[in-house]
Structure 1
Amino acid sequence: MNTDFHKLLFEMSEALVTDELAALKFLSLDHVPMRKLEAIQEPKAFFEVLQEKDMIEAGNLAFLRELLYRIGRIDLLVTHLGSSREHMERELQVQGRAKVSAYRQLLYGIAEDLTPEDVKNVKFLLQKQLPKNKLQDNASMLQVFLEMERNRIIKEDDLTMLKDILKAFRADIKKKIDIYEEKKKDNYSKEELRYPVSVSVHPGEQGAEGKTTNLAVETYKMKNIPHGYCVILNNHIFNNPKQNRKGTVKDGEAVKRVFKWLQFETVEHMDLEAKEIFEKVKEYSKRDHRNMDCFVCFIFSHGEKRKIKGIDDEFVNIKDLVSCFSGSNCPSLAGKPKVFFIQACQGSVGHPAVAVEADFSGHPETDATPSTSIPDLADILIGMSTVEDYLSFRWAESGSVYIQCLCDKMKLLCPQGIDLLTILTTVNEEVGGKEFIVSNQMPGGKLEKQMPQIITTLRKQLIFEIPQGQPSKE
């Protein structure tokens, strides 16, 4: 039991008044069910619920700081949490840090802006939509909003009724809703980040005359043991035996060796249907990652453009899988790196080979895709075995070209303190330099190539340090 932590919560609860508690409850509705909040009558009970929901704990008071900032209790922010208005303004500008949705911020801001006369007008205009006992004189605007939400009169993507009500006497606030809707529309259109070519970031870029410019790039913290989950979703045996993926077991074994060596809690799930792939990813997003630094997920299967195939021949969108780890869906990993590696084709086209010596002679198999699309969030990296529309190759005896190369490079370069993006760039170079003979009607087959891809919104360097006292290789 952390005495100082509970003393802090007690002192803050004593300083909060009834209207402020109502505001805190309203702003927390995205994280705590309404029925749970409705039963709360005093601040201490509210703080207990936040602890139950893992929204606050000793050493992690980011959500509490945001709530106090939103309701204007800067005095508590300064005296009890060692923060300030300016610090919070900077903090909440960082993508993914804000836990109170823009929608709930908007409604709370409107409630604060409305005068008592405005509130009366709103209640009058809602008489046909809400029961009279919900529109009594002592009902606050936040309570009215809750009733409107409960009756589906307003919701995050439909504020038409509220705009119609306000435009008659508060056109300025109606304009705020218009701005919110425009921003939401813009964000939706930017939901997917698309990179037509591979992206690499190096700690030192070559400047003029070949000189290296050293940039001070911050590094993600990797201090917990284990660092996080390394989840492997490996489809080997399909309902249609012709689609079985020989060699994929070797990939799973290689990944487990490397990531156990790197001190991750590594687990493999075999032969999942499309729905099971999504449910398994969602399950891990709901776990408690507060004492972990990172999340890593490998997905091995067939695929098509922007999709992963389950053993049942159904597909799941890669965007939906990654979205499980958004800040709101997985708050305990907010600000921490989420890494996905996809071994699957993204189409049926082969890269034509150029006139260089072949590295392989043989007939590799192909996997067929996931998406080059990720939600517009920070701290996410997707390593793709191939670029969009193209094939990805796998050897039946030894595993996939991309995954085996990735594991080899991590064993070699992690002990040197090389960051993940640089490692993946060396993988791109090595895999992109190989040639594969693919069987077709032509005598001897034809030469094809494979080009992996890196999709990233990482904000810092991600370095997997090897454990103290262990050899430089697994």
Structure 2
Amino acid sequence: MSRDFFKLLFEISEALVTEEVAALKFLSLEHVPRRKLEAIQEPKAFFEVLQEKDMIGVGNLSFLKELLYQISRIDLLAAYLGSSREEMERDLQVPGRAQVSAYRQLLYRIAEDLTPEDVASVKFLLQKLLPKNKLQENASMLQVFLEMEINGIIKEDNLTILKDLFQSIRADIKKKIDAYEEKIKENYSREEVRYPVSVSGHPEEQGAEGEAAKQHGKIYTMKNNPHGYCLILNNHIFKNPRDNREGTLQDGEAVKRVFKWLEFKTVEYMNLEGKKIYETVKEYSKKDHRNMDCFVCFIFSHGERGKIKGVDDECVNIEDLVSCFTGTNCPSLAGKPKVFIIQACQGSVRHPPVTIEPDSSGHLEVDASPLTSIPDKADILIGMATVEDYLSFRSHKTGSVYIQSLCEKMELLCPQRVDLTAILTEVNNEVARRELEGSKQMPKITSTLLKQLIFEVPQ
């Protein structure tokens, strides 16, 4: 990477103070997992994480420009990035150009607008909603907002409590929140709503309660603990040592970390022969899932088109595995979501690159070939590492590109109540942008889910 690029980042980092780094971290929460940001104390480490996430790089400084503009460091914008306030304002008016969400901009602007007395008043009113140690005198308003998000008190589509707080403290800020909500409604009215809600024919069902009633039923119920099994079939060591899948242990650890956090009963089986893969999946389909909400299965191995290989080189049809969980074969999961995530190739063809963006260093390998379709049954979702006929990639050191991206996105977006299909779409976007040893990778989602699948984050 260009020496001038690192010099540029160094000089910008030297000019930033602690409060500004905190602001940059807050504004980047849609792009970098909160847990990763929490450990960062100084700007150089922040810029390193942005590089890891491909948010900045040589010839790719738009996100950095936007961040500096948002925190009003126009001096740095002009001196190091050759831009101005007016140019940024014009640029960010282009639809889809802004990478910092309107929601996060709103919270940041509110925090900047508050006096110390206002912050003290907000903390006082939040005493019954947040732990006392999160409302200490030295806690900034951005830290308070973050705690409110973690505890589900505020969300991008629900700022009711925030408005109630400011109604008595700062009515002008309450009006700003109202204006934000109106703008969001206008944007949705210009487009098709992603998750349309049926309109009730009963006037008494209109209003907040009616809206909640209409939304109910369009999200799968997630009320049990554990929510269900997360079954991981992870083939690492094969009878032919040349087929060993280095890096797959990191994938297993990442999945276990995420799904234990989400309160799933997580079980990992290593190095299964083909027959044993099928027997294990069938065994879990015969279990009693009546007190569970969901079933999740990860499969990491080699294979052929439509098949997964055991460590003995014997294959099992992926459709046979998925069919174990149809309503007929697994009645205790009927009407509940069944999720299969498959890290594997679907052929031997390489995607040609369209743009050049660096991926993590380290040797990359390719995996197996999963199915091209799923049984025509409801409530099943399959996320595949790549589309038909193409390779998917796995690093010896860090694990597979697809699984690591999925786990990071889940950690970032599950607390925001983003449904799994939308998270997988974000993963598609991230993986597709990367260059992998001169090739590209395009994951695929196949779904017969009938509702949104939102994983509840334990409080």
- TM-score with structure 1 setting the length: 0.52
Structure 2 residue aligned with 1:435: 435
CA deviation after TM superposition for structure 1 residue 362, in Å: 4.6
Structure 2 residue aligned with 1:262: 262
What do you get for the CA RMSD once the two structures are aligned?
1.8
Structure 1 residue aligned with 2:409: 409
Structure 1 residue aligned with 2:278: 278
Give the match's secondary structure for 2:426. helix
Question: Using the alignment, how far apart are the partners of 1:213 and 1:370 within structure 2?
Answer: 29
Structure 1 residue aligned with 2:160: none
User: Which one has the largest radius of gyration?
Assistant: 1
Question: Of 196, 204, 214, which residue of structure 2 is paired with 1:215?
Answer: 196
The question of whether the paired residues in 2 share the 8 Å contact of 1:345 and 1:385 is answered with: yes
The question of whether the paired residues in 2 share the 8 Å contact of 1:205 and 1:212 is answered with: no
Question: Of 447, 455, 468, which residue of structure 1 is paired with 2:446?
Answer: 455
Question: Using the alignment, how far apart are the partners of 1:304 and 1:208 within structure 2?
Answer: 45
Structure 2 residue aligned with 1:369: 369
Structure 1 residue aligned with 2:180: none
Structure 1 unaligned spans of 5+: 1-203, 438-446, 469-474
Structure 2 residue aligned with 1:392: 392
For residues 252-305 of structure 1, what are the alpha-carbon distances to aligned partners after superposition, in whole Å with 9 as ceiling and x for unaligned?
011001000000000000000111000000000000000000000000001221
CA deviation after TM superposition for structure 1 residue 373, in Å: 1.7
The question of whether the paired residues in 2 share the 8 Å contact of 1:309 and 1:369 is answered with: no
Seen in structure 2, the aligned counterparts of structure 1 residues 229 and 205 have a Cα distance that, compared at 3 Å, is farther
The question of whether the paired residues in 2 share the 8 Å contact of 1:359 and 1:434 is answered with: yes
For residues 175-205 of structure 1, what are the alpha-carbon distances to aligned partners after superposition, in whole Å with 9 as ceiling and x for unaligned?
xxxxxxxxxxxxxxxxxxxxxxxxxxxxx99
Question: Using the alignment, how far apart are the partners of 1:462 and 1:212 within structure 2?
Answer: 17
Seen in structure 2, the aligned counterparts of structure 1 residues 390 and 241 have a Cα distance that, compared at 3 Å, is same
Seen in structure 2, the aligned counterparts of structure 1 residues 205 and 310 have a Cα distance that, compared at 3 Å, is farther
Residue pairs, 1:412-427, within 5 angstroms: 412-427=412-427
CA deviation after TM superposition for structure 1 residue 212, in Å: 5.1
Structure 2 residue aligned with 1:380: 380
Letter in 2 for 1:448: S
Residue pairs, 1:337-352, within 5 angstroms: 337-352=337-352
Give the match's secondary structure for 1:340. strand
CA deviation after TM superposition for structure 1 residue 358, in Å: 3.0
Residue pairs, 1:354-365, within 5 angstroms: 354-365=354-365
Residue pairs, 1:40-439, within 5 angstroms: 209-210=190-191, 215-216=196-197, 218-437=218-437
Question: Using the alignment, how far apart are the partners of 1:229 and 1:268 within structure 2?
Answer: 10
Question: Using the alignment, how far apart are the partners of 1:205 and 1:451 within structure 2?
Answer: 33
Question: Using the alignment, how far apart are the partners of 1:245 and 1:234 within structure 2?
Answer: 9
CA deviation after TM superposition for structure 1 residue 215, in Å: 1.6
CA deviation after TM superposition for structure 1 residue 374, in Å: 1.0
Seen in structure 2, the aligned counterparts of structure 1 residues 467 and 365 have a Cα distance that, compared at 3 Å, is same
Structure number with the higher helix fraction is 2
Count of matched residue positions in the alignment of Structure 1 and Structure 2:
256
For residues 349-378 of structure 1, what are the alpha-carbon distances to aligned partners after superposition, in whole Å with 9 as ceiling and x for unaligned?
111101333334553111121102211100
Structure 2 residue aligned with 1:465: 456
CA deviation after TM superposition for structure 1 residue 211, in Å: 7.2
Question: Using the alignment, how far apart are the partners of 2:309 and 2:380 within structure 1?
Answer: 22
For residues 101-133 of structure 1, what are the alpha-carbon distances to aligned partners after superposition, in whole Å with 9 as ceiling and x for unaligned?
xxxxxxxxxxxxxxxxxxxxxxxxxxxxxxxxx
Letter in 2 for 1:338: K
Letter in 2 for 1:266: T
The question of whether the paired residues in 2 share the 8 Å contact of 1:361 and 1:436 is answered with: no
Letter in 1 for 2:196: L
Letter in 1 for 2:319: K
Letter in 2 for 1:215: P
Structure 1 residue aligned with 2:64: none
Letter in 1 for 2:385: S
Residue pairs, 1:23-38, within 5 angstroms: none
Give the match's secondary structure for 1:352. coil
Question: Using the alignment, how far apart are the partners of 2:439 and 2:317 within structure 1?
Answer: 27
The question of whether the paired residues in 2 share the 8 Å contact of 1:205 and 1:213 is answered with: no
Give the match's secondary structure for 1:253. helix
Question: Using the alignment, how far apart are the partners of 1:425 and 1:273 within structure 2?
Answer: 32
Seen in structure 2, the aligned counterparts of structure 1 residues 236 and 259 have a Cα distance that, compared at 3 Å, is same
Give the match's secondary structure for 2:355. coil
Structure 2 unaligned spans of 5+: 1-184, 198-214
CA deviation after TM superposition for structure 1 residue 314, in Å: 1.0
Seen in structure 2, the aligned counterparts of structure 1 residues 331 and 211 have a Cα distance that, compared at 3 Å, is closer
Question: Using the alignment, how far apart are the partners of 2:282 and 2:186 within structure 1?
Answer: 38
- TM-score with structure 2 setting the length: 0.54
Seen in structure 2, the aligned counterparts of structure 1 residues 451 and 206 have a Cα distance that, compared at 3 Å, is farther
Question: Using the alignment, how far apart are the partners of 1:239 and 1:466 within structure 2?
Answer: 40
